[in-house]
Copies of this chain bind each other. A is one copy, B any other.
Amino acid sequence: MKHYKIAVLAGDGIGPEITQEALKVLKVVEERNDVAFELMPALFGACAYFATGDAFPPETIAICDQADAILKGPIGLSHEESKKIPVDKQPERGALLPLRRRYNTYANFRPVSLPKALAHFSPLKPEVIGEGIDLIMVRELVGGLYFGEKEMGVNAEGLRYVRETLEYDEVQIRRIMHQAFKLAMKRRKLLHNIHKSNVLKSSVLWNEVMEEVAKEYPEVQVVNFLVDSAATALCLKPTQFDVMVMENMFGDILSDQGGGILGSLGLMPSACLGDDKAYYEPSHGSAPDIAGKNIANPYSMIGSVAMMLENSFGMEAEAKNVWAAMQGVFAEGYSTADLSKPGSGVKMISTVEFGDKVVEKL
């Protein structure tokens, strides 16, 4: 029997609720496979800060270090609440970025996927969805502005100023490109390279390395897109994209736009892979306004479990089952509040009911 240790970081806001549903799914997978999942829950994010004074406390680090994979819920506080915590202790700077840095999870995969049959979820017209949206954004996750030096102070003229640096070296770019090209080879052999080389020198190097790596994948067709044009195109014709690769900040913005075109960030799971460790998380925030109400969409969290099954445990068939079970729930006309607005014709179910229905279908 295989034995896997999973660090479970439920996070803040809706995190615990949607994690609960994801764990139900994991339990079913465990029961019917020759595998044991050892769950190791740990505090992470604002909850950890309030309990220990540290958003990513040593006990959590120890658990993550031991784990074969990390399942992480969304973290963070509302704009107003977050002011109560010193800037560097806030969950994003104090926990999430350190997590990404510690395990060097440089490759973030964010599927943006909506079958034609679910076009009604989307704010886009059915004719824009066409045969369905099915793209994956590959986001560089441990470089760029997020991890550069930061300096805040008062300058010679007595003015408050701030300076931060965006850095990339060729190794950082090359490894994410390989991930993107490999994924493209497994899919439609089409790669959209997102950049801003007409202004940013970082994009000049980005494109240079991309072209070098491209030579190793001659079958892949590369299409270059300025990041601003990509933002236009994602609204006008999202179906043109299959695999998109981009640096950290661009990936943050465009992937959330991706959630927008699907109809809900609740449809955005993700995998964050390093060379030795991987963690899995929804792409969205902790939605403090709807926390504790049993209305959040657990899709992104259950989807993250599916990505974990596939990437960390090689359980591709079970991953497919999980995706199919969720699609099955949608196919019966059910969804959570985010996707069942009055008049949409979608039958509203709670977070727990969604999880239950997925389990039934598994």
Contact = CB atoms under 8 A, between A and B. Distances in A.
Contacts of A113: none
A213 interface: no
Contact of A160 (B90, B170, B226, B252): B170
Oligomer copy total: 2
The binding surface of chain A is classed by DSSP as helix
A261 B123 CA distance: 10
Interface string A112-156: 000000000001110110000000000000000110101110010
A166 B145 contact: yes
B231 A162 contact: no
A348 interface: no
A228 B204 contact: no
Contacts of A355: none
Interface in A148-190: 148, 150-152, 155, 159-171
Interface stretch (A62-70, A194-202, A316-324): A194-202
A201 B164 contact: yes
A169 B165 contact: no
A260 B234 contact: yes
A164 B202 contact: yes
Interface in A326-349: 343
Contact-residue size bin, chain A (C-beta under 8 Å from the other chain): 35 or more
A33 interface: no
Contacts of A260: 231-236
Contacts of A208: 160
A299 to B, nearest CB: 15
A201 B257 contact: no
A227 interface: yes
A208 B199 CA distance: 28
Most buried by B among A87, A125, A224: A125
A254 B256 CA distance: 12
A97 interface: yes
Contact of A228 (B97, B164, B231, B253): B253
Given A79-B224, A198-B90, A161 B167 contact: yes
Contacts of A79: 224
Contact of A285 (B148, B229, B259, B265): B229
A201 B152 contact: yes
Contacts of A171: 159
A169 B161 contact: yes
A205 interface: yes
Interface in A223-259: 224, 226-229, 231-236, 249-250, 252-257, 259
A93 interface: yes
6 contacts: A87-B204, A160-B209, A163-B167, A231-B253, A234-B257, A235-B257
Q: Which 7 A-B pairs have the closest CB atoms?
A: A235-B260, A228-B256, A161-B169, A231-B257, A92-B198, A232-B260, A150-B201
Given A123-B125, A228-B256, 16 more contacts: A82-B198, A87-B204, A91-B198, A145-B166, A145-B200, A159-B169, A159-B170, A161-B168, A161-B169, A164-B202, A228-B252, A229-B285, A231-B260, A232-B256, A234-B260, A235-B261
